[in-house]
Structure 1
Amino acid sequence: MKAIQFKEYGSPSVLEKVDVEKPSLAKDEVLVKVSAVGVNYADTARREGAYVVPTPLPFIPGAEVTGVVEAVGSDVQDVNEGDRVVTLIESGGYAEYAKAKAASLIPIPDEVDDETAVAIPLQGLTAYHILTTMGRMEHGETVLVHAAAGGVGSLAVQLAKQFGAGKVIATASTEEKRQLALELGADEAVDYTKENWRDDVLEMTGGRGVDVALEMAGGDIFHETVKCMRSFGRVVVYGVASGDPAKMYPSGLMNRNLSVIGFFLPQIMKKPEMFKRSLHHLLELVNTGDVNLTVGGVYSLEEAAKVHELMQGRKTKGKLVLKP
């Protein structure tokens, strides 16, 4: 089968098209003929050797796939060949075929197309659990969403409103992206590339600050975000897109009873019922139109390097999708 693989860490140029064997199945796994693959910052971090956990070489990236079940392991009972499914996997999505645990598969409603479905799992579950499980957002609270025109951010803006946020403040780097965030339901939008952007956030909250912040940039953005927090506020860190991990002194959180919380989506996969329940909920919200997904571009599998360049160059909006 055709796949995109890298044999060394580096720039997008290390991604190469290769011929490899189809994955062999364990008793509890299924083989999925891939119809769409979601592209994420985790893929670029894997490629650079900078992911949260080690990335073995050679490596086929890709953690979220949609497709049709082509074969099932001997112990699989509730999944059939021909089922149309979406799931998260550890790796191997940038390929014509991928294997997945049968227990992790979610059926795709007929009304939801492959490109939309594949835009849900990684970024949708991240936004969902940052707000609820980790951020413990309560009705009426104020939420700050960075990179609000991106995959996670655009979903987080909508979910925060769905879950009862009193105010959602979005940040984005361009007027076009800020306008998109407002159209998705944000109450205010801030240019976080300008100096003293946190003053705008504080003014928008009457000087009180925000209750929950979704932070994935690191560096100075993290430190400025902490300064935007209200007493008892929660900053949920789910990435370091700048490549500059922030250094902090925990004692500095004490005077306002602040919390800084880390989130790593693969840990949710270790709780299958939580994973499936929340993914089902997200699919329902998309199917009913309560949450709208922004698919920023659909590319062929061979264009993976180009897609990585566009993503890391901050030249995209919404979800980027590869199609084998």
Structure 2
Amino acid sequence: MKAAIRDDHGLAFVERPRPAPGPDDVLVRVRAIALNRADLGVLAGHMHGSIGGSGTVLCMEWAGEAVEVGANVRNVKAGDRIMGSSAAAAAEYTTADHGRVYPIPEGMDFERAVTLPVALQTMHDAVVVNGRLKPGESVLVMGASSGVGLMAMLIAKKMGAGFVVGTSTHAGRRARLGEFGADLAVDTSDPAWPEQVLKATGGKGVDLVIDQLSGDTVNASMKAAAVLGRIVNVGRLAGSRAEFDFDLHALKRIDYIGVTHRTRSVQEIREECRKTWADLAQGAADGSLALPISASFPFERLGDAFAMMRANEHFGKIVVTMP
């Protein structure tokens, strides 16, 4: 089968044997993949948890058809149209644990479906499970113009948030955040942005911050948060090290919550996926949780797709279609 790997120099296309599913796995004929920031790191030679290094098949988000299922699999059968996340997605075939597989809603094509699994799962876990969002609360999404950021705002609104703030340093993208649930869009390159959030919330600050940036934005996020607010640290696009105002953290009595999938067990991830689909399946099916496709590339132009993500030229998801 055709596969895209990270070799000693970068992206390479190779022939690989078709993988065989284990007893808990589904063998998938991949029809489309979607890029995520973690994929850029693996392509650059970094590890993402246990994934990485020369010879690694790239990407982790796919949509396609079930070809074969393991002996213990009951929720999927051969021929089902499915979507999900797992290692080694950038190939004609991949395998996935049955608990990480979602059915593709009726009438949805593979390109649209592949935009959903990572964003739905990541942001349901951040907003609903770890963020403990209650109806009527206010939410701030840092880095809101990314695919997962847009999904965070959509999920917050669907789960009853009363006021949603999204951030972006790009004026054109800020102008579009309202389409995805933002009641207020702010520019984090403006040092006064926390004051804008405080003013918009009557001086209280937001109840929940979904932080994809971290780095030197963390203290400003705490300024924008309410007393007894929660900050869920999903990503570190602005840096993984920074000065931290411990006094402000204590003064506001903020719950600062770190999340990642890299240290979760198989059972934890299966349960995460189950909760995600229980709450969001209807939104995925009716289109209220849809993400924009910024660009779609054929598999042989995967390098161009990566270049677009590296240049941060996209709004929403970048999709690659398989041969």
What is the TM-score when the length of structure 1 is the normalising length?
A: 0.90
The answer to whether residue 124 in structure 2 is matched with residue 160 in structure 1 is no
Structure 2 counterpart of 1:16: 12
206-215 or 235-244: which moved more? 235-244
142-151 or 279-288: which moved more? 279-288
Structure 1 counterpart of 2:216: 220
Cα distance in 2, alignment partners of residues 93 and 119 from structure 1 = 13
What's the CA shift string for 1:109-157, capped at 9, x where partnerless? Answer: 2222212221111111111111111111112111111222211111111
Structure 2 counterpart of 1:3: 3
Equivalent residue in structure 1 for 2:108, among 106, 112, 129? 112
SS at match of 2:56: coil
Structure 1 counterpart of 2:315: 317
Cα distance in 2, alignment partners of residues 32 and 131 from structure 1 = 30
Cα distance in 2, alignment partners of residues 268 and 226 from structure 1 = 31
44-53 or 109-118: which moved more? 44-53
Kindly tell me: are residues 278 and 77 of structure 1, through their superposed partners in 2, closer, same or farther at Cα, counting changes over 3 Å? closer
44-53 or 282-291: which moved more? 44-53
Cα distance in 1, alignment partners of residues 129 and 80 from structure 2 = 30
Gaps of 5+ in 2: none
What is the TM-score when the length of structure 2 is the normalising length?
A: 0.91
The question of whether the paired residues in 2 share the 8 Å contact of 1:121 and 1:279 is answered with: no
Cα distance in 1, alignment partners of residues 18 and 163 from structure 2 = 48
Cα distance in 2, alignment partners of residues 20 and 33 from structure 1 = 14
Cα distance in 1, alignment partners of residues 61 and 103 from structure 2 = 14
SS at match of 2:57: coil
Give the C-alpha shift of residue 61 in structure 1: 2.1
Cα distance in 2, alignment partners of residues 112 and 281 from structure 1 = 19
Q: Percent identity?
A: 29
The question of whether the paired residues in 1 share the 8 Å contact of 2:210 and 2:231 is answered with: yes
What's the CA shift string for 1:193-238, capped at 9, x where partnerless? Answer: 2333222222222222111111111221222112211101111111
Cα distance in 2, alignment partners of residues 211 and 268 from structure 1 = 29
Gaps of 5+ in 1: none
Cα distance in 2, alignment partners of residues 295 and 283 from structure 1 = 20
Cα distance in 2, alignment partners of residues 145 and 56 from structure 1 = 29
The question of whether the paired residues in 1 share the 8 Å contact of 2:216 and 2:239 is answered with: no
Kindly tell me: are residues 71 and 170 of structure 1, through their superposed partners in 2, closer, same or farther at Cα, counting changes over 3 Å? same
Cα distance in 2, alignment partners of residues 27 and 117 from structure 1 = 26
The question of whether the paired residues in 1 share the 8 Å contact of 2:25 and 2:69 is answered with: yes
SS at match of 1:158: helix
Cα distance in 2, alignment partners of residues 196 and 252 from structure 1 = 17
Equivalent residue in structure 2 for 1:150, among 141, 146, 153? 146
Aligned pairs, how many? 319
Equivalent residue in structure 1 for 2:80, among 46, 67, 83? 83
The question of whether the paired residues in 1 share the 8 Å contact of 2:84 and 2:118 is answered with: no
Give the C-alpha shift of residue 303 in structure 1: 2.4
Structure 1 counterpart of 2:299: 301
What's the CA shift string for 1:63-95, capped at 9, x where partnerless? Answer: 221111122334445432211111221x10011
The answer to whether residue 278 in structure 2 is matched with residue 286 in structure 1 is no
Cα distance in 2, alignment partners of residues 194 and 140 from structure 1 = 28
Structure 1 counterpart of 2:90: 94
Give the C-alpha shift of residue 177 in structure 1: 1.0
Q: Counterparts of 1:255-266 in structure 2 under 5 Å? A: 255-265=251-261
Kindly tell me: are residues 124 and 198 of structure 1, through their superposed partners in 2, closer, same or farther at Cα, counting changes over 3 Å? same
CA RMSD of aligned residues (A): 2.1
283-292 or 28-37: which moved more? 283-292
Give the C-alpha shift of residue 50 in structure 1: 4.5
SS at match of 2:121: helix
Give the C-alpha shift of residue 275 in structure 1: 1.2
Q: Counterparts of 1:31-42 in structure 2 under 5 Å? A: 31-42=27-38
Give the C-alpha shift of residue 100 in structure 1: 1.3
Cα distance in 2, alignment partners of residues 157 and 168 from structure 1 = 7
Equivalent residue in structure 2 for 1:48, among 44, 48, 56? 44
SS at match of 1:241: coil
Output the amino acid matched with 1:281.
D
Cα distance in 1, alignment partners of residues 163 and 150 from structure 2 = 15
Equivalent residue in structure 2 for 1:276, among 256, 274, 277? 274
